[in-house]
Structure 1
Amino acid sequence: MKYKKLYFTIILFSLCILISGFNYYYNDGGKDEHVNKPVYLTFDDGPTYVVTNKLLDILKEHDVKATFFVVGKEIEDKEDILKRIYDEGHSIGLHTYSHDFNKIYKSDDIFIEEMLKTQKKVKEITGYTSNIIRFPGGSSKHLSTELLEKLHQNNFKIYDWNVNISDGVNPNLTIDQLASNAKKNSKNYSRLIILMHCNFNNKNTAKALPKIIEYYKDLGYEFETITEDTKEYYYKIKK
């Protein structure tokens, strides 16, 4: 009798643990692995008149901060938008001055010069010196050991991406398609950096943004901005 009671006690205890674990998984949607994992919303190619302001409105409404990798030549006559990005607590990164692939990738010196020119422009308007950069098209096939060293000598840090909503190559994707693309990521990543764009033709990106924000909020991700204290993230260095 004594052993039977012990046996049933063990069985009951095991069932309680199993049920408790099941309920936790069910109630949390199996999302506990994502809690406190950072996600970075990033927008390239701006600032632009309509789309950037719309994105800022949505980010403000949802109390989320993002990172804008700006193109130097686009700042002209849109200084107030750049200032708004900064004043509302978002991070500003550098995305070259011309965004002309044939020019910026002609030499390391030209590439760095374009980043420095944009850095100067941003500082003139905001008073902030940005040291975070993004290669147009990504660093793959462009970043060498020598260029990396030169960039670091100029205090620049590189940030590519590991989630791409594909609004750069196809801005006319539907809202649902863009939102769906934002959900395609690997569980192996310790952080997610989502590539989006804020060109004049990225109106659907702005419309998809609330869906993207809600999706990652529901998963328990923490929205963060990229700063010079953020660990670099760049693709394989070319030989």
Structure 2
Amino acid sequence: MNLPYSRPSFSSYNTNYLISTKPSVTSTHHTSADKTQKIVYLTFDDGPIPNITEDLLNTLKAYNVKATFFVVGKEIIGREKILDKIYKEGHSLGLHTYSHNSKKIYSSQDVFVNEMVKTRNLVREVTGHTTNIVRFPGGSSGHLNVSMLQKLHKNNFKVFDWNVNLEDGINPSLPTSKLINNAKKYNDNYSRLIVLMHCNSNNKNTINALPYIIKYYKSLGYKFGIITNDTKEYYYRVKK
């Protein structure tokens, strides 16, 4: 299920993790000399999904690029081999709740945290790896407050939103060219880019766009990274 993704205004970002609070996103087309020691994290939500996730993995392998997959617990059942393949090929795993049911997961803070714990346990059972990185379905804006953040941190979780959005979650049928163009829309002062993509069964155009997105960031001199338990958090401004 694709939830409606809202794009928070830049003033709503947690400025502890932003380099700039410019009010708008700029589409930039740089030469490689413009960027030095900057990093981009390619992230995929909602898997593992047969064929789609595997095709993404094949492309990533062909370009020698690692990515981060925020997985949904219920999607792992019967697809354990795909999850294990993601991990064994050197990509990182994050948690995207167990049910991905917005009405349920946002019914209470405890329900939300418990879904993350349940998915973490399942990922550990399949891969032997404990991941503590989480992503809110729809993003943390409007959901993350001080008490929620404290509960997540008490369970060793770290929150990761995004600052580049392909918009393939709300509209997976976007043309490949539009997805590629969306990957080029970001605030020029960010020290790191976190790119939101999806790997649902209807995200075939994302597969088509991925090689061009990889080549675009490579042409700018970006280093591709994976989000791990040691990566500094990145989340939108916390509600009081």
Q: Which TM class, normalised by the smaller chain length?
A: 0.7 to 0.9
The answer to whether residue 187 in structure 2 is matched with residue 186 in structure 1 is yes
**Aligned-pair Cα RMSD in Å:** 0.8
- Distance (whole Å) between structure 2 residues aligned to residue 218 and residue 158 of structure 1: 29
Q: Which has the higher helix share?
A: 1
- Distance (whole Å) between structure 2 residues aligned to residue 79 and residue 233 of structure 1: 28
- Distance (whole Å) between structure 1 residues aligned to residue 58 and residue 106 of structure 2: 34
**1:202-221 equivalent positions in 2, closer than 5 A:** 202-221=203-222
Aligned twin of 1:118: 119
Alignment check: 8 A CA contact 2:31 2:219 kept: no
Unpaired segments ≥5 residues, structure 2: 1-29
Q: Which residue identity is paired with 2:235?
A: Y
Aligned twin of 2:18: none
- Distance (whole Å) between structure 2 residues aligned to residue 78 and residue 145 of structure 1: 35
**1:1-239 equivalent positions in 2, closer than 5 A:** 30-239=31-240
Question: Residues 143-172 of structure 1: CA distance to partner in whole angstroms, max 9, x if unpaired?
Answer: 010110111010000000000000000000
Question: Residues 8-66 of structure 1: CA distance to partner in whole angstroms, max 9, x if unpaired?
Answer: xxxxxxxxxxxxxxxxxxxxx64333122000000000000011000000000000000
- Distance (whole Å) between structure 2 residues aligned to residue 101 and residue 81 of structure 1: 25
Q: Which residue identity is paired with 2:160?
A: Y
Give the fraction of aligned pairs with identical amino acids, expressed as a percent. Answer: 62
Q: Which residue identity is paired with 1:90?
A: H
Unpaired segments ≥5 residues, structure 1: 1-28
- Distance (whole Å) between structure 2 residues aligned to residue 233 and residue 155 of structure 1: 15
Alignment check: 8 A CA contact 2:38 2:191 kept: yes
Question: Residues 108-133 of structure 1: CA distance to partner in whole angstroms, max 9, x if unpaired?
Answer: 10000000000010000000001000
Number of residues of Structure 1 aligned to a counterpart in Structure 2: 211
Larger RCO (alpha carbons 8 Å, 6+ apart): 2
Question: Residues 55-102 of structure 1: CA distance to partner in whole angstroms, max 9, x if unpaired?
Answer: 000000000000000000000111010000000000000000000000
Query: Once superposed, which parts of structure 1, at least 4 consecutive aligned residues long, lie more than 4 Å away?
Result: none
- Distance (whole Å) between structure 1 residues aligned to residue 166 and residue 36 of structure 2: 22
Q: Which residue identity is paired with 2:217?
A: Y
Partner of 1:49, secondary structure, is coil
Question: Residues 169-212 of structure 1: CA distance to partner in whole angstroms, max 9, x if unpaired?
Answer: 00001111100101101111110000000000001001100000
TM-score (normalised: structure 1): 0.87
TM-score (normalised: structure 2): 0.87
Determine which structure has more spread, i.e. the larger CA radius of gyration.
Answer: 1
- Distance (whole Å) between structure 2 residues aligned to residue 87 and residue 73 of structure 1: 20
- Distance (whole Å) between structure 2 residues aligned to residue 33 and residue 177 of structure 1: 24
- Distance (whole Å) between structure 2 residues aligned to residue 124 and residue 228 of structure 1: 18
